[in-house]
Structure 1
Amino acid sequence: MNGPERTDILAFIEARCGRRLTLSQEADVLAALDADGDTATAFMDSFAAAFGVDLTGYEPRFHHRDAASILRPGWPFAPPHLFGVRLPVAVSTLAQAAQSGRWPVIYPVLTVAPSRQWLNVPLILIGLPVLAAAGIAVLRVL
């Protein structure tokens, strides 16, 4: 094989993050580094720059979540991964990408269901007064 090897990828990760991955952590680098959102994107961008990898085919939503945002529905709880699927980014995948110069993973074609977040507004507007009325009724009975 020509190009960077597994040891080169591990040296890059150690230089970038300041720690050595265990053998089990090598199976999922982003999870081992606890990288989501901007941290994971920055890691993948620096990997691509260091090894000359074209990340055009890389789909971050399959590998990590977006960063937490107060404006995101459900905050502070992280949303589930897309379709409940999270594909690990292994050291072997990074080595394959570095050797070929492009992202090697082929993703399934999945269509995203339309968001139902708008349902939260009527539920809150109707649910809170009903809950308050029930609470007042219980307090009057006691």
Structure 2
Amino acid sequence: MNGPGREDIVMFIERRTGRRLTALQQADVLAALDLDGDAAQGFMAAFAAEFAVDLTGYEPRFHHRDEGRAVRPGWPIAPPHLFGVRLPVSVSTMTQAAQTGRWPVIYPVLTAARSRQWLNAPLILIGLPVLAAVVIALVRMF
């Protein structure tokens, strides 16, 4: 195929992030760069602009989480990826997208389960006072 090659994609990643990925890291670019949420979206948008790729078919929920690490519910324990599935974005996939001008991945049709994030509020409202009581009791003992 004509168009940008693998080395062009690797050079783009290096210019954008300042990191040269190893061959193993090139198999999963977003994980290697530790990109989630807006950072991952920005990276993919920059990739699309640089190589004139139509990301209409790109489904971010299969490749990375929605929010940054510190603002996710359950921080510092990361929630599982949507559907328990995480598809890597490899340099090969990015090269194919750059050469064809469109995102090449075809995603399965899955229905998202209802969110259980409402459980965080009761856990905080009950857990923090209990934790405070335990800490106070321990301080008074010593």
* TM-score, with structure 2 as normaliser: 0.80
The alpha carbon displacement at 1:77 in A equals 2.6
Listed as ranges, the matches of 1:25-36 within 5 Å are 25-36=25-36
> Which amino acid counterpart does residue 86 of structure 1 have in structure 2?
R
Structure 1 residue runs of 4 or more that deviate by more than 4 Å after TM superposition: 119-129
**CA distance in structure 2 between the partners assigned to 1:123 and 1:7 by the alignment:** 49
The alpha carbon displacement at 1:18 in A equals 1.0
**Count of residue pairs brought into register by the alignment:** 135
> Which amino acid counterpart does residue 58 of structure 2 have in structure 1?
Y
Q: Unaligned regions of 5+ residues in structure 1, if any?
A: 136-142
Aligned-residue sequence identity (percent) comes to: 75
| 1:74–1:101 distance in 2 versus 1, CA, 3 Å | same
**CA distance in structure 2 between the partners assigned to 1:4 and 1:96 by the alignment:** 9
Counterpart residue number, 2:74:
74
Radius of gyration: which is bigger? 1
The alpha carbon displacement at 1:44 in A equals 0.3
Q: Unaligned regions of 5+ residues in structure 2, if any?
A: 135-142
Counterpart residue number, 1:38:
38
Counterpart residue number, 1:86:
86
Q: Deviations over 1:16-62 (max 9, x none)?
A: 11121101011000111111111111110000000000111111111
> Which amino acid counterpart does residue 49 of structure 1 have in structure 2?
A
Q: Alpha carbon RMSD of aligned pairs, Å?
A: 2.5
